[in-house]
Amino acid sequence: MNTFKSVAELRRRVSEWRSQGQRVGFVPTMGNLHAGHFALVELARQHSDKVVASIFVNPTQFGPNEDYARYPRTPDSDIAGLAAKGCDALLLPSVEEMYPFGTIGCVQMHVPGITDILDGAHRPGHFNGVAQVVARLFNMVQPDASVFGRKDYQQLQVIRYMATEMSFPIEIVPAPTLREPDGLAMSSRNQYLQGDERQTATFIYQTLCFMREQRGHGFPIDAIEAEAEQRLTMAGFSVDYAEIRRSDLMRAKSPEEPGLLALIAARLGRTRLIDNLEFDSA
């Protein structure tokens, strides 16, 4: 695996592959990689001949009181893991390479509507930063396909919207959520969990399953959401939301509606966890 810090050098390599008729897959990450990330690389391989990954902790998607400075950075183990999974190239850019005019003077991006609900309501500006950096990475790498995990479901929908609206000729490939044996969704933030918090964190997945079960019994959606929030609060979480939505993230009208999913974001100690469960695919 070759590592590139320069976009121009990576583009030359990608151009060589394209001249040979090869299809390029892309996996953007913020590093501190775990099995869930490596599964994205494996899925990208199924959709392409060559796989490019990127590692960049994007400052524009972190709010003033969020964890940009303490976000774990483990480049050596990340590079070793990507190489072991057969990744062909890694883009490891500096902030200056990504934002040549700085993060204040950079071109802004806003995806309307979908970014103002759920996580967008609790983290104002977060998805603007996500759309901004992913659009830049798409332009830099110019892949044929790019893989994103379903655990960050709202992020996936924002990127789908942006890619369609901006006419990026890129196939957006969703990847299933990878879970620990006890159901906890794999996440770099899990390492922040202290002591008994790790076991308590599994209650998020249990609550998602409860919401799916209650939906199957036809209970009103607002009653399911209220009970889910109460259960999480009693378990020690500070709940941002526990909601049932349609696959396009608009409000569901009835529990009988097809294509629903439950989404939860909650804090446990200093750690904010998110997860979701699609009812009809289980």
Closest C-alpha among 133, 135, 127, 129 to residue 153:
127
Output the CA–CA distances (angstroms, integers) from residue 153 to 15, 235, 246, in the order listed.
Answer: 32, 24, 12
Closest C-alpha among 63, 275, 263, 123 to residue 189:
275
CA atoms within 13 A on the CB side of 94: 7
d(CA 184, CA 48): 30
Query: Is 126 tagged catalytic?
Result: no
Output the CA–CA distances (angstroms, integers) from residue 200 to 85, 183, 208, 235, 236, in the order listed.
Answer: 32, 11, 14, 7, 8
Contact criterion met (CB below 8 Å) for 266 and 273: yes
Catalytic residue among 34, 37, 47, 126: 37
Characterize the bridge pairing of strands 24-29 and 238-246.
Answer: unpaired
In the block, residue with structure tokens 């977060």: 126
d(CA 110, CA 131): 7
The catalytic residues are: 37
